[in-house]
A and B are shown apart, each in its own frame.
Chain A
Amino acid sequence: MSKTATFERGIHPKYRKELAAGKSITQANLPQRIVVPVSQHIGAPAKPEVNIGDEVKRGQVIGSTTGFVSSPVHSSISGKVTAIADFPTSVGKMVQSIVIESDGKDEAISFKEHPDYMNLSADEIKTIIKDAGIVGMGGAAFPTNVKLSPPKEKTIDTVIINGAECEPYLTADHRLMVEHPREVVEGLKIIMKSLGVKEGHIGIEENKPDAIKAMESAISGEANIKVWPLEIKYPQGAEKMLIKAVKGREVPSKGLPMDVGVVVQNVGTALAVYEAVRFGKPLLERVVTVTGNGIREPKNMMVRIGTLMSDVIEQCGGLVDGAVKVISGGPMMGFAQWTLDVPVVKGTSGILVLAEDEYVSSDQYSACIRCGSCIDVCPMGLNPSILSIYSEKGFYEDAKANNLFDCFECGSCAYVCPAKRPMVQFIRLAKSQVKP
């Protein structure tokens, strides 16, 4: 085992992973009804391929791609399309969604298996991945096949699997690595093959020793794959931070990981890639951590895409009385929900329910006292204090001149701010007011 790798700065929030870390992944019940938004990813929305009243089967394409940066959607149950209309999603927007009522039979279309998947060509792999509707499952939901097709002038030499899972509370990736280490490694190998890359890395934060152990035994015999224990620090799992920790390379400002020859994929994505290429299975379900003190039984569940959050929460015993906040994703970058009737989508890594004791109100905030805490923790080396002040006073151009657009809104500054200033909100406001 090598020395703990990490990046500069960052914060140490309370991780609270113990709530769900020990819970094995359980299969969620077959939902009565699913709501599948046509846009679950970054890029152009998919086009609905079905009409109201159509019978669909599990795995059937119900929305097709409309551009290069786009991804198809599939039905995760068998049943009848009952509506195609705008529905709320977990990011707060209304998105065109296809509603399917289950017929209870859960019939699947036939999937095309590839037992000799390592012999497939790079292009074949990419096509399979694209058709399977696989997107980045860490939260950003960028179509995976696009990430695997870098422009010709960029030479990619490294693939990193992101098992850091630095968001507090979440344990979905953790459980995946413990329970399916072999599949994750195979997924990594497929990704490496599709990119023609020899070097693979898996970064895991040190607070998951069982995952590190499982992954290390899974890579035994793979000479060019390495597992990196990472320091327990937020935001260790951000792409740029992970690359810095593992490879020591800094992604330039306004650049992408591919600019330094690296592709980063989430653990869940690697697994989905393996299942798609080996068994021909499209992305129909994902692991969702349902956790927090506001939930009766925290669980890690395999949930079908499109299942309503209320349905999932019901299966975890429902909310406790003091539950105040439901978040899709992690506590640092996730979205607070105003309704629970939103579907689990490809990028939903967790459903976090905070109870009163975990909730810190930020309604009341005071002036910046320039303590510099935020500067000490900003992983991008920015000055969040001055950015928030500029934004508060309306000097958006000044904020831009202070590298506003390098901020990826990890929330570290807002976490440490003693004046409880809504730093991220200020920064988002400024970003919306000026062009990059």
Chain B
Amino acid sequence: MATEAKAHELIVSVSPHVRGQETVARIMWTVNLSLLPAFIMSVYYFGPLAAFVTGLCILSAVLSEHIYQTSLKKKSTIGDGSAFLTGLLLGLNLPPSVPFYIPIVGSVIAIVITKLLFGGLGYNVFNPALIGRAFLLISFPKLMTIWSEPTAQFVAMDAKTTATPLGVLKEEGLAKLIEIFGDKTDLYMSLLMGSRAGSLGETSAIALLIGAALLLYRGYITWHIPFSFIATVGVMAWAFGGQAGLFTGDPLIHILSGGLILGAFFMATDYVTCPSIRKGQIIFGIGCGAITMMIRLKGGFPEGVMFAILLMNCFAPLIDRGVKSKKFGAVKEQKEQKK
């Protein structure tokens, strides 16, 4: 019988026999794609140097993963796009004008020490790109806090240095910040479009939001972390950020400046290092927001998103352990036990 002849070629495996279309690589490359607008805006404002810095980060991240894995005779996983993403995020988190060795050092730390030494994608405790950046910021504090002025021409080679809005806010107050940008509306517009000093990819809120919308639409991220993160920052900025006492702060400035939008949508939501249960994600977001504002208002650094996310990364497994998703049939069980 024809059927018998076929039988020995049949694949035997466990159920389910059909699978969804999502793969890790597909998710990662989509996230990479969603960062494209922010990347374009960074080149627009900070010139070809921005592309060079980001490109170098990506290149060294991918290369270091490949070299590490092949030299240990493991399968190279650069195809899944996560090393590319780490490089890209690190690049977008660097100031525009850094010496060439900074992206390389940062990428190697991010990929080799933060990710691969812990066992590779899925086992890392901290967000690799953020550890890379934290390492650089602490190691080269001066080089990592030189901010270029945006030029909006795609060409700037050596721009003037200036302070970030949060730096001005911390050192000289809101009045001075508004004075620099003209008036309040100009300030908001500049923050929204990205015409301000800051890390390469963090400046343009609008470009980041376009990318975030893609991720939200595809369901790769949910509203829980970004919303709770940003809302906490907003509320705390409004409550404690004003000079005239409680509840006089300007939440919009705190939300739009610094790396909040980039961090909340693209880095706090990193699957591996955030809680996987939705309720836990809200706690995680609130924690990130609260630590961010504590650092911004009371700490030594003008910006706190990076350290906030890294600190909350530590708590992610704990949150996952403490928070349980609503279990089917659990309510009845408890009632019966009480009887």
Q: How far is it, in angstroms, between the C-alpha of A424 and the C-alpha of B327 when the chains are bound?
A: 18
Q: How far is it, in angstroms, between the C-alpha of A372 and the C-alpha of B20 when the chains are bound?
A: 15
Smallest beta-carbon distance B277→chain A, Å: 6
Interface centre among A318, A319, A326, A418 (most CB of B within 10 A): A418
What per-residue 1/0 map shows which CB atoms of A331-368 lie under 8 Å from chain B?
11111111111000000000010100011101000111
State whether A424 touches B16 (Cβ < 8 A): yes
A interface majority secondary structure = loop
B179 close to A (CB within 8 Å): no
B interface majority secondary structure = loop
Partner of A383, one of B7, B26, B276: B276
Q: How far is it, in angstroms, between the C-alpha of A319 and the C-alpha of B90 when the chains are bound?
A: 52
Q: Which residue of A lies closest to B23 (CB)?
A: A418
Partner of A310, one of B3, B9, B14, B122: B3
State whether A14 touches B7 (Cβ < 8 A): no
State whether A375 touches B276 (Cβ < 8 A): yes
At the interface with chain A, which of B53-61, B168-176, B228-236, B328-336?
B328-336
- Tell whether A381 pairs with B326 under 8 Å between CB atoms, given A334-B15, A360-B18: yes
Q: Which of B202-231 contact A (CB under 8 A)?
A: none
State whether A420 touches B276 (Cβ < 8 A): no
At the interface with chain B, which of A122-130, A205-213, A248-256?
A248-256
At the interface with chain B, which of A40-48, A215-223, A409-417?
A409-417
Q: How far is it, in angstroms, between the C-alpha of A386 and the C-alpha of B321 when the chains are bound?
A: 10
Smallest beta-carbon distance B124→chain A, Å: 10
Q: How far is it, in angstroms, between the C-alpha of A26 and the C-alpha of B122 when the chains are bound?
A: 51
A136 close to B (CB within 8 Å): no
State whether B329 touches A323 (Cβ < 8 A): no
State whether A331 touches B328 (Cβ < 8 A): no
State whether B19 touches A360 (Cβ < 8 A): yes
A406 close to B (CB within 8 Å): yes
Q: Which residue of B lies closest to A376 (CB)?
A: B278
Chain B residues positioned under 8 Å from A8 (CB to CB): 326, 328
B339 close to A (CB within 8 Å): no
State whether A369 touches B7 (Cβ < 8 A): no
A385 close to B (CB within 8 Å): yes
Q: Which of B2-24 contact A (CB under 8 A)?
A: 2-4, 6-7, 9-20, 22-24
Smallest beta-carbon distance A356→chain B, Å: 10
- Tell whether A323 pairs with B6 under 8 Å between CB atoms, given A14-B18, A372-B271: yes
Chain B residues positioned under 8 Å from A138 (CB to CB): none
Q: How many A-B residue pairs have CB under 8 A?
A: 187
State whether A255 touches B14 (Cβ < 8 A): no
Q: Which residue of B lies closest to A402 (CB)?
A: B324
State whether B123 touches A367 (Cβ < 8 A): yes
Chain B residues positioned under 8 Å from A255 (CB to CB): 329, 332-333
Q: Which residue of A lies closest to B326 (CB)?
A: A381
Q: How far is it, in angstroms, between the C-alpha of A250 and the C-alpha of B331 when the chains are bound?
A: 8
- Tell whether A371 pairs with B276 under 8 Å between CB atoms, given A310-B4, A406-B327: yes
State whether B277 touches A383 (Cβ < 8 A): yes
B185 close to A (CB within 8 Å): no
State whether A336 touches B13 (Cβ < 8 A): yes
Interface centre among B6, B274, B277 (most CB of A within 10 A): B6
Chain B residues positioned under 8 Å from A60 (CB to CB): none
B325 close to A (CB within 8 Å): yes
A380 close to B (CB within 8 Å): yes
Smallest beta-carbon distance B328→chain A, Å: 4
Q: Which of A234-248 contact B (CB under 8 A)?
A: 240, 244
State whether B10 touches A324 (Cβ < 8 A): yes
Partner of B17, one of A14, A253, A314, A336: A336
Smallest beta-carbon distance B114→chain A, Å: 15
A64 close to B (CB within 8 Å): no
Partner of A414, one of B1, B19, B121, B272: B19
Q: How far is it, in angstroms, between the C-alpha of A368 and the C-alpha of B120 when the chains are bound?
A: 11
What per-residue 1/0 map shows which CB atoms of A227-238 lie under 8 Å from chain B?
000000000000
A419 close to B (CB within 8 Å): yes
B119 close to A (CB within 8 Å): yes
State whether A359 touches B121 (Cβ < 8 A): no
Partner of B19, one of A252, A324, A335, A420: A420
B27 close to A (CB within 8 Å): yes
State whether B328 touches A379 (Cβ < 8 A): yes
Q: Which residue of B lies closest to A323 (CB)?
A: B6
B80 close to A (CB within 8 Å): yes
Partner of A372, one of B14, B23, B277: B277
A428 close to B (CB within 8 Å): yes
A267 close to B (CB within 8 Å): no
What per-residue 1/0 map shows which CB atoms of B278-312 lie under 8 Å from chain A?
10000000000000000000000000000000000
Chain A residues positioned under 8 Å from B23 (CB to CB): 418-420
Chain B residues positioned under 8 Å from A372 (CB to CB): 271, 276-278
State whether A358 touches B327 (Cβ < 8 A): no
A13 close to B (CB within 8 Å): yes
Q: How far is it, in angstroms, between the C-alpha of A253 and the C-alpha of B325 when the chains are bound?
A: 14
A135 close to B (CB within 8 Å): no
Q: How far is it, in angstroms, between the C-alpha of A11 and the C-alpha of B119 when the chains are bound?
A: 31
Q: Which residue of A lies closest to B26 (CB)?
A: A418
Smallest beta-carbon distance B168→chain A, Å: 38
Chain B residues positioned under 8 Å from A378 (CB to CB): 325
Chain B residues positioned under 8 Å from A379 (CB to CB): 328
Partner of B3, one of A313, A335, A362, A415: A313
State whether A325 touches B17 (Cβ < 8 A): yes
Smallest beta-carbon distance B259→chain A, Å: 23
State whether A252 touches B332 (Cβ < 8 A): yes
Chain B residues positioned under 8 Å from A13 (CB to CB): 18, 20
State whether B327 touches A338 (Cβ < 8 A): no
- Tell whether A337 pairs with B16 under 8 Å between CB atoms, given A252-B333, A318-B3, A380-B328: no
Chain B residues positioned under 8 Å from A338 (CB to CB): 7, 10, 12
Q: How far is it, in angstroms, between the C-alpha of A338 and the C-alpha of B22 when the chains are bound?
A: 28
Q: Which residue of A lies closest to B16 (CB)?
A: A411
A280 close to B (CB within 8 Å): no
Q: Which residue of A lies closest to B317 (CB)?
A: A370
State whether B18 touches A380 (Cβ < 8 A): no
Q: How far is it, in angstroms, between the C-alpha of A130 and the C-alpha of B39 when the chains are bound?
A: 71
A155 close to B (CB within 8 Å): no
Chain B residues positioned under 8 Å from A425 (CB to CB): 14
Partner of A319, one of B6, B121, B331, B333: B6
Q: How far is it, in angstroms, between the C-alpha of A13 and the C-alpha of B20 when the chains are bound?
A: 7
Residues on B lying within 8 angstroms of A by beta carbon are: 1-4, 6-7, 9-20, 22-24, 26-27, 77, 80, 119-123, 271-272, 274, 276-278, 320, 324-333, 336
Cross-chain pairs A/B with CB under 8 angstroms, 19 sampled: A8-B328, A252-B329, A252-B333, A318-B2, A337-B10, A338-B10, A340-B3, A362-B19, A366-B80, A369-B122, A375-B276, A381-B325, A381-B326, A416-B20, A416-B22, A417-B20, A422-B14, A424-B14, A425-B14
